[in-house]
Structures are given as C-alpha cells and as structure tokens.
Chains A and B, each alone.
Chain A
Amino acid sequence: QVQLQESGPGLVKPSETLSLTCAVSGASISSYYWSWIRQPPGKGLEWIGNIYYIGTTNYNPSVQSRVTMSADTSKNQFSLKLRSVTAADTAVYYCARETAAGHIEYWGQGTLVTVSS
C-alpha cells in the first residue's frame, strides 16, 4: 500500500519561503513521477509540478520562477520550496504519485498552508 505524508509549517509569512516535504512509504521514489498539487480553500486543483527521482522536473509556468522541487532517495522523500509567497498561495498542498502517463494514482492527505503575517 503506497502512502504519502506531507509535513511542514502551516503558517508562512508573506514574502517568505514555503517548504514542504512528502514522505513516501510502500514504494520507492526511485521510479515514477512525484507531484505537488494545491487547492485554495473552496476552489479547484492546480498542478504545481513534478519531479522524477533523478532530478528531472516539470513546473507549472504559473509558479515556475518561484518553485524548486527536489528528491532524496536515501530518505525516500521529496520536497517543495515556493519562494516569495503571498496570500494567493494559501491552499491545501497535496503530494502525489503520478503515473508515467500523467494521471495521479496516490495522494497524500494534504496539508493546509496559510500565508499571513
């Protein structure tokens, strides 16, 4: 059973960096694509980007200038950093496992990150 668990601060100040980690169990991150998706409260889903374990990334142009994803195979986890956040970045952030085709098979439970001073 593949399980994903997000962790990180639930409150980030404007202009600072949002940092989240996703711990994976039941599967090795040394295969598949691993994604971050977010959902502002009461709204729809936005794909932030994905990472392949060797470091290949795809980022949504909407956040490309501010985002960095990385993977740590020794810890079987991957991470998201989003710089210069504003209130518009307030959302539930999900980590997920993406198939080679592009749809999501497994999701984390999600973690709410609020951007506020």
Chain B
Amino acid sequence: EILMTQSPATLSVSPGERATLSCRASQSVATNLAWYQQKPGQAPRLLIFGKFARATGIPARFSGGGSETEFTLTISSLQSEDFAVYFCQQYNDWPWTFGQGTKVEIK
C-alpha cells in the first residue's frame, strides 16, 4: 500500500495570502494524484486530478504540481471560502490511498 503523507497538519494563513500544501508518496505514483477540498459536514470536492489538471468549475487560484513522489497544491490568494481541509489521493496502485489531510485555517 502506498502511504501518502501530508504536511503541515494545519496551515494558518491570512485572507489574500498564498498557501502551499505538500503531499509525499512513499513510492512513485507518476501523475496519478488528486486533491480534494472538504468543508465541515460536507463531502469532499475534487479540485485537481492528474497532478495539475483543474476539475470543472475550480478557480484558477488553485494549482497543482510536483514530481512523481512530492506534490504541491498552491492556493495563490486565499479567499474566505477556501478555509477547509485538503486531502491528496493517489490512484496509481490499488488500493487507492489518501493523505491524512491539511487543515487551512484563518490566521
């Protein structure tokens, strides 16, 4: 099973600032990496797939990148609606696995 490790656990950011979230895979997952946003009491929402492709309707301030084991999700200018928990997920090897999440909170 591929272990996905996210850092930091919590990120405190002021509105309008840039946030960079990290996700590390225990082995290569190529570009088979997705990011999801989850708000309290809601299901996750797909933001990024294929390491850097934005899902339908996702604003351009969200961008994904990285290598085959180290990935980043960048939110260029945080809006109030972006404060949430973010999960990465690999779908290169079964079983698909998620990171434990990064909570982005208001500083």
Contact = CB atoms under 8 A, between A and B. Distances in A.
A32 interface: no
Contacts of A46: 98
Contact of B101 (A44, A58, A103): A44
A62 B34 CA distance: 22
Contacts of A87: none
Contacts of A45: 44, 87, 89, 98
Interface stretch (A17-25, A70-78, A107-115): A107-115
Main secondary structure of the interface of B (DSSP, over half): loop
Interface in A32-64: 43-47, 49, 58-62
B1 A61 contact: yes
Interface residues on B, range: 20 to 34
Main secondary structure of the interface of A (DSSP, over half): loop
A14 B96 CA distance: 27
Interface in A59-108: 59-62, 94, 99, 101-105, 107-108
B87 A101 contact: no
Interface residues on A, range: 20 to 34
Which of B32, B91, B100 gathers most chain A CB within 10 Å?
B91
A44 B32 contact: no
A104 B44 contact: yes
A44 B98 contact: yes
Nearest to B97: A47
Interface string B70-107: 00000000000000000101011011111111000000
B43 A102 contact: no
A43 B101 CA distance: 9
A102 B32 contact: yes
A59 B42 CA distance: 25
16 contacts: A44-B98, A44-B99, A44-B101, A45-B44, A46-B98, A47-B98, A62-B95, A94-B43, A101-B50, A102-B92, A103-B50, A107-B44, A108-B43, A109-B42, A109-B43, A110-B43
